[in-house]
Structures are given as C-alpha cells and as structure tokens.
Amino acid sequence: MNWLDEANFVRMQARLNNEMFGSFIPLIASENVESPLCQEMLLTDFHGRYAEGTPDMRYYQGCKYFDEVEKKAMELAKRLFNCSYANVQTLSGTVANMAMFKSLTKPGGKLLALDTAAGGHISAGKYGAAGFRGLAIITFPFDEEKWNIDVDKSVKLIETERPNLTLAGGSVILFPIPLKEIAEATKAIDSYMAFDGAHVLGLIGGKHFQDPLHEGAQVMTASTHKTFPGPQGGIVLANPDLDTEEGKKFARRLDFGCFPGVTSNYHLHHVAAKAVVLAEHLEFGEAYAKQTIANAKAFAQALWERGFQVLCEPYGFTESHQVLLRIGKPNEGKGKWASEKLEDGGLITNQEILPGDKSPTFTSGLRLGTQELTRIGMKEKDMEDVAEFMKQVLLDKKNPAKVKEKIKEFRKDFQFIHYCFHADEWKAYEYRKLI
Ligand SMILES: Cc1ncc(COP(=O)(O)O)c(C=O)c1O
C-alpha cells in the first residue's frame, strides 16, 4: 500500500469538492464560504496549540498572543451584538447549546423548544444535547400557516407546564419570533428564556433581523458558520448587568458551562478566525444581511411565479435568508427526490421535514438559503435565474446534465467573494493550501 497515494486521494477529493462548489449553485441554508482572512487564521500555528481556561487564567504556558486574540474576539462580539458577555470557545452550535443547558438547567429539568417538524434543531430534542442533559422536552404550539410559534397557546403552556428553560429559535426560521411575550411568561414563572440563533446570527449581527438579547432572551447561542460567515464553531452571548453580583454570577455560570463544562482545548485557530470575521461583520455585516434577505424574498417570489409551492405566500414568504418549499404530499418522499435531482442538475439543497412528515429522511420539504449566493455576489435579478434552473430540473424535467452545464457557465460571473476584506483578489472555493 502506498500511503502517499492514500493521502493524495483525500487531497483530490478536497480539490474536486472545491471545483464542485465553484461551479454549482450552493443553496444550503446552514453553509457559507469563508473570507481570505478567516482562511488565513485557520492555517496558523494556533491550530496546534492548547489554551484551556480563560484569557490570563491558563493551565498552559505559551498563550500570551492567543490571550490577546481571545480577548479581542470577545470584545468584538460584545460590540457587534451590543451585549455585555461573549464566550467564543464552543466548538459548534450544538456545543454552545450543551454549555447553555449545563449552565441554566439541572438533569430532570423541563425544556420548552420547537419540534423538529416545525424547524426545531436536534440539539433541543431528546436524542440530542437536551436529552443528553437529561431534560424532559415539551414543544411549542406551532402555527404552520404563519410558520411561527402560536404565542397565545405558548404563553398558556408556559403557565401550566412551567418549563425551567424555554428555547426559541430553530433550523427553519422564516420570520422573527415573538420573543417579548414569551419572555414575559417565562419571567412570571421565574425561569429562563434563551434564543438559538444558529441560523440567523449573521442577520442579527447585520441588524436586519430581530435582536433577541434585547427582546428578553437571557442567552443567545449560535453557530458561527451559517449566516454568520465565520469558521465552523459556536458562540454564547448574553447581556447580564456586570455591575451587579447577580450579573457577574450569571456570566461565571455561562463560562463554567463552556469550560470545563463542554470543552477542554477549544481549537484556537477557529477562535482567531471568529475574531477576524467579527471585525469583517462590523464593517460589512449590515450590507450583507440586507442583501441576503432581499435575495431570499426575490427568490421566493420567482419560485412562486414559476409554479412552486412556496410556504407562507400570504406573509411575504420570508424575512430571513431561508425559503421553504413543499414538494408533493407529506410522506411521499418528494423532498428527498427533489434534492437528489437538483444535485444532478448542479444545485445543492437539502430536503426538510415539514409538518405531516413522519421521517426526517423521507420528507416533502426543501429548505433553501440565499446567504452563500449573496456572498459570491448575487443580487435579486440573479435569483430569477436560479429559480429558472430549479424549474427546468424539477418542473420541466429537463435533462439535469444539460442544466448543470448551463449553471457552470452562469457561475463564471460569480467567483469572487464579497462582504469581506481583500474581496477583489479572493476567489471563493479556492483555498490557499490546495492551489
Ligand atoms: C437551530 C440550530 N441550532 C443548533 C444547530 C447546531 O449547530 P452546529 O451544526 O454548529 O452544531 C443548528 C445546526 O444546523 C441549528 O440549525
């Protein structure tokens, strides 16, 4: 066996993957493309180092530069989200949720969260992080027409069920969630409300979505790689009053939930990458978030006009980066079929479980996101073209290979990455190590 060939096999797959994403249309709502500065940080020596603890309170030596990086990341996060507390250590959105569960709940406690068929994430479910913490889970009453929680019923449920923690936010999030009403109800029973901003963090930071930490959420957890276009990772944000003992204690609990709660070494190069992208977001975030949402609205409209069943038409389809389609009837598996056909045609999407579906792998939904298309320079008019490609594959049943060729041509105009420093020189999907 030639082990170099084995290693090269892996490198080749990475190159092919880069080529694929450089010539396809990326529509997965939880993905993004990283800026040159972000990539640069991921290749630094920080990658090989350890820094357990918190800045200036380390168990290992050699952290003096990294301490400055982590402090800067926290400072920029607090600035961007206008809050008093940030922890940038968690390795993903799921791990951020684990840290938050550890900080705010006890095993056997009760969690109110969204059902997965209503867009809730598995980390708030019994087979995910919430179950791992031993939480009993109840789910929000949900209004499918409006794709949002039913506020009145939710408030009543909070009064009767008295959850220890209420977690709003999810993986399918088309509209802002009425947090103020929910926050009042949780406050009245002396419990916590948190917001899972994994999907919409970049829109919140870009000031074009709701602002959970100022609408009553005591904590916001998130991934740093979805609409927020950073490295894969997590973040925990909060806004306690640090001039009070109570506020300081709350911050310490959150820190303790992150370390030693759910991390030891926490991937220092990713923290450095988070820091530079936070700075980029302070510079470009508003324009990016605005265009991402405008693109999503234009995309939804264009799909609707071409005959797709786009959810929430009476409510303007979407206020986020996402567009949701129903393909066929529940439990027919047409969502899965559509996502596979689209991949053959050069469009990357994912099937989505919708109300009525029994299995997350055999669904009637497609979830689409415009954040990555926005980063590679697409505007509203380009959404018409993308909708047309989808129509050709799924409704006109054109040969997917032919559509893929057309998309390859179309993509030639969208090779550079936007809303970041050095945008003009930087081709998306061509990372330095591989070229
Ligand atoms: C609402 C929500 N929370 C948490 C997560 C988990 O994030 P990660 O994949 O970074 O662990 C996701 C991921 O898709 C999500 O959609």
225 CA distance to ligand 1 middle (Å): 10
Token pair, residue 295, equals 């693109």
Among residues 98, 46, 95, the alpha carbon closest in space to that of 73 is found at 46
Task: State which ligand 1 atom lies nearest to the alpha carbon of 173.
Answer: 1
Residues of the chain with CATH 3.90.1150.10: 284-434
Q: What is the pLDDT of residue 435?
A: 43
Which protein residues are within 6 Å of ligand 1, measured from CB?
A: 30, 92-94, 97, 121, 123, 169-171, 196, 198-199, 223, 234
Question: Could you say which residues of the chain have pLDDT below 70?
Answer: 431-435
Residue from 30, 203, 266, 350 to probe ligand 1 pocket by mutation (most atoms less than 8 Å from CB): 30
| Atom in ligand 1 nearest the alpha carbon of residue 199 | 16
Rounded to the nearest angstrom, the distance between the alpha carbon of 54 and the centre of ligand 1 is 24
**Calpha distance 274→89 (Å, rounded):** 10
Q: How many angstroms is it from 196 CA to the middle of ligand 1?
A: 8
Measure the CA–CA gap between 36 and 59, rounded to whole angstroms: 32
Q: Cα(384)–Cα(227) distance, rounded to whole angstroms?
A: 21
pLDDT of 104 reads 98
Let me know if domain 39-275 sits in CATH 3.40.640.10.
yes
Number of CB atoms found within 10 A of residue 232's CB: 18
Give domain 284-434's CATH architecture: Alpha-Beta Complex (3.90)
pLDDT given at position 422: 82
In angstroms, how far is CA 382 from the centroid of its own chain?
Answer: 23
Distance 121 CA to ligand 1 centre (A): 6
Gyration radius of the chain's alpha carbons = 22
Where do you find CATH 3.40.640.10 in the chain?
Answer: 39-275
Q: Residue 325 burial by CB count (10 A; 0-12/13-18/19+): exposed, middle or buried?
A: buried
pLDDT tens column, 227-273: 999 999 999 999 999 999 999 999 999 999 999 999 999 999 999 99
CA-proximal residue: ligand 1, atom 7 (nearest): 93
**Angle of CA points 176, 179, 184, to nearest 5°:** 165
End-to-end CA distance of the chain: 26
CA of 322 relative to ligand 1 center, distance in Å = 15
**Residue from 123, 172, 201, 226 to probe ligand 1 pocket by mutation (most atoms less than 8 Å from CB):** 123
Q: What is the pLDDT of residue 433?
A: 56
Distance 200 CA to ligand 1 centre (A): 11
Ligand 1 mutation pick, 91, 100, 111, 121, max ligand atoms within 8 A of CB? 121
pLDDT at 434: 52
